[in-house]
Amino acid sequence: MQISGAQMVIEALIAEGVETIFGYPGGAIMNVYDEIYKQKTFKHILTRHEQAAIHAAEGYSKASGKVGVAIITSGPGFTNAVTGLADAYMDSIPLVVISGQVPMSLIGTDAFQEIDAIGISRSCTKHNYLVTNAADLPGVLKEAFYIASSGRPGPVHVDIPKDVTAQIAEFDYSIELDLETYKPHTKGNPRQIKKVMEAIANARRPLFYLGGGVINSNAAYEVRELVKKTGIPAVETFMARGVLSHDDELLVSMLGMHGSYAANMAMSETDLVIALGARFDDRVTGKLSEFAKNAGVVHVDIDPASISKLVSADYPIVGDIKNVVCEMLEQSIVIKAEKYEQWRKTIKNFDELHPLAYHDDTENIKPQWVIERVGELLGDSANISTDVGQHQMWSAQFYPFSRPRQFISSGGLGTMGFGFPAAIGVKAASPEKISINFTGDGSILMNCQELMTAVEQKLPVINIILNNNYLGMVRQWQTLFYDKRYSETDLSIQPDFVKLSEAFGGIGYKVATKEEFDIALKDAIEKNIVAFIDVAVERLEDVMPMVPSGGSLYNMMLLEKKEKK
């Protein structure tokens, strides 16, 4: 059929089964927004900032496993969105971001709201397109969704000049894709998988190292079966929380800079690392030369560029995690349950020596208690988003995650301001779950305008502000490594968060005791509107354990020994 470029965008979104998109209109994308107005198939959520639109699409994608979609305009509309693109790129989140551009005749003239969006997005997207002819749009959009969701997922950017959205051309979305230079290898090599299973059978202290790729591949339940079948202990990265349930006896916990003593020591003592969908990030490995230095390394990843990039793999396997793990289960060599019993006891001893804990011994509320309490009260009924800082690490440490896609946070880029708009996207994707955003008094102000989005769209996100009047994580580093020179980290001058929420039409609570917190959380859930719960917490609490930057995993700063009340 002959339709306009703007209509093609709508028809492509419908053909891809898109149900929800996020965005912010402007001059260059106005033709597309006119067509959005006319359709009734999918829902458009108007955010109050383009960065928030991308983060909301990220949250939607992380919670649902679907491709997130955002539509923005040219110039500052696009530059505002770049942080979200970079965040999605670092965390391998499948997005299709469509931006408007000035008409073709004005490109390169420094026209009003012109920016080289393609040049800017090249380094922070999996792929990008400048569409110069409406006839190309069906193929481009179909490719964009395929590339975003296949192989190692990531954001794809499609930039469309305004005159192209007005052009009339033939729309045919039934075309077959044939990308000669892009053919992800999804099946693992059977012979290599057999070698891996033999190496596992011969190892005395093997350890599963589970990364975010397990969740991206929707392979969590297959991995659970493999871990159970082999009886091998497992550690999770920050991005993999929820792959194993918190009550799984074979889950050691999170490893890395703020991982547990048991997890980091297990990685230091293992003789075979079985890395599934992990990229050996510096926050996980610490000093590379000391990382699992006496172990063989199995590395399974969909991205061949990630394998042996940082740690040399003895058993490299390129393939989709789900496919490879299914093959591993089929080839599984019989391993007697008692084979790794001593290894499991060793790890248990590590945990008993320095358990993941905190001292709840002051009149002030400890931030860890708040997270534990939400876990006790809500557990699996909540999806947990976070901003970035101390609260993020405490959430990863202390919330009892029971399923994949329950924990939504900014990993690789570490974007303050991510949590609230992401939690809006999470709620849009999973309305049946309570959407909690753990945030700090620094992070929440970076996208607090999204209160209006949540109110307008009736998306009752509960923002729990762990308020210590500091940029907490930076302050912690200043305490430990800068002789307590608190340069520009004191946030004692703050807004009234209760009034701020109420001004937008939400609800607010100021909490100073544990009893008040329980009452506030229960009331916020019952009220079912967007909420700020401002919790005054211990100001100088540190996230422990901690591996100093560049240090070895086995050389951790630990919590001082006291009995937990």
Q: Would residue 561 show up in a list of annotated catalytic residues for this protein?
A: no
| pLDDT given for residue 411 in this prediction | 97
**Strands 2-4 and 168-170, sheet pairing:** antiparallel
How many other β-carbons are positioned within 10 Å of the β-carbon of residue 176?
Answer: 5
DSSP 8-state code for residue 447? S
Low-confidence ranges of the chain (pLDDT < 70): 332, 337, 563-565
Alpha carbon 112 to chain centroid distance? 35
| pLDDT given for residue 321 in this prediction | 98
Catalytic position from the list 473, 544, 546, 556: 473
Structural contact between residues 438 and 371, judged by C-beta atoms closer than 8 angstroms: yes
DSSP 8-state code for residue 457? T
Structural contact between residues 114 and 106, judged by C-beta atoms closer than 8 angstroms: yes
H-assigned helices in 379-445:
390-398, 419-429
Catalytic position from the list 112, 481, 484, 522: 112
**Strands 234-236 and 206-210, sheet pairing:** parallel
Catalytic position from the list 126, 162, 322, 366: 162
Structural contact between residues 500 and 409, judged by C-beta atoms closer than 8 angstroms: no
Catalytic position from the list 11, 16, 35, 50: 50
Q: What angle do CA 301, 306, 310 make, to 5 degrees?
A: 125
Among left, alpha and beta (phi > 0; psi -120 to 50; other), residue 347 is alpha
Structural contact between residues 121 and 95, judged by C-beta atoms closer than 8 angstroms: no
Q: 236-248 burial, b if ≥16 CB within 10 A, otherwise e? A: bbbbbbbbbbbee
**Strands 251-254 and 234-236, sheet pairing:** parallel
Position of tokens 């937990």? 564
Catalytic position from the list 113, 192, 449, 494: 113
Q: Would residue 162 show up in a list of annotated catalytic residues for this protein?
A: yes
Q: What are the tens digits of pLDDT across the range 68-85?
A: 999 999 999 999 999 999
| pLDDT given for residue 564 in this prediction | 46
| pLDDT given for residue 332 in this prediction | 66
CB contact set of 14 (below 8 Å; sequence gap of 6+):
39, 41, 42
Picking from 443, 495, 491, 500, the residue whose alpha carbon sits closest to that of residue 470 is 491
Written as six digits, the tokens of 433 are 């779950």
Got the DSSP string for 192-221? HHHHHHHHHHH-SSEEEEE-HHHHHTT-HH
Q: Indicate the residue type of 460.
A: P
The tally of CA atoms less than 13 A away on the side-chain side of residue 560 is: 5
**Strands 407-408 and 43-46, sheet pairing:** unpaired
CA of 457: how far to CAs of 252, 447, 451, 471, in Å? 40, 16, 10, 31
DSSP 8-state code for residue 487? T
Position of tokens 């320095």? 354
**Strands 206-210 and 272-276, sheet pairing:** parallel
Written as six digits, the tokens of 340 are 């790794």
Q: Indicate the residue type of 169.
A: A
The Cα–Cα gap between 172 and 367 comes to: 55
Picking from 108, 105, 96, the residue whose alpha carbon sits closest to that of residue 166 is 105
Q: 408 pairs with which residues across the strands?
A: 385
Structural contact between residues 52 and 81, judged by C-beta atoms closer than 8 angstroms: no
Q: 463 pairs with which residues across the strands?
A: 437, 532
Q: Would residue 112 show up in a list of annotated catalytic residues for this protein?
A: yes
Written as six digits, the tokens of 88 are 């999605």
- Which helix (H) or strand (E) is 274 found in, with range? strand 272-276
CB contact set of 438 (below 8 Å; sequence gap of 6+):
371, 374, 384, 385, 386, 387, 391, 392, 394, 395, 419, 464, 466
Q: Would residue 473 show up in a list of annotated catalytic residues for this protein?
A: yes
DSSP 8-state code for residue 363? S
| pLDDT given for residue 563 in this prediction | 55
CA-based R_g, the chain, Å:
24
Q: Indicate the residue type of 62.
A: K
How far from each other are the two terminal CA atoms of the chain, in whole angstroms? 71
DSSP 8-state code for residue 442? T
Please state at what angle helix 220-230 crosses helix 321-330, rounded to 10 degrees: 30
The Cα–Cα gap between 39 and 43 comes to: 9
CA of 271: how far to CAs of 185, 204, 266, 324, in Å? 29, 7, 10, 21
The Cα–Cα gap between 368 and 359 comes to: 9
| pLDDT given for residue 560 in this prediction | 87
Domains along the chain with CATH numbers: 2-170 (3.40.50.970), 190-353 (3.40.50.1220), 367-536 (3.40.50.970)
CB contact set of 30 (below 8 Å; sequence gap of 6+):
100, 162
CB contact set of 380 (below 8 Å; sequence gap of 6+):
402, 403, 406
H-assigned helices in 39-116:
50-64, 76-90
- Which helix (H) or strand (E) is 96 found in, with range? strand 95-101
The Cα–Cα gap between 384 and 399 comes to: 9
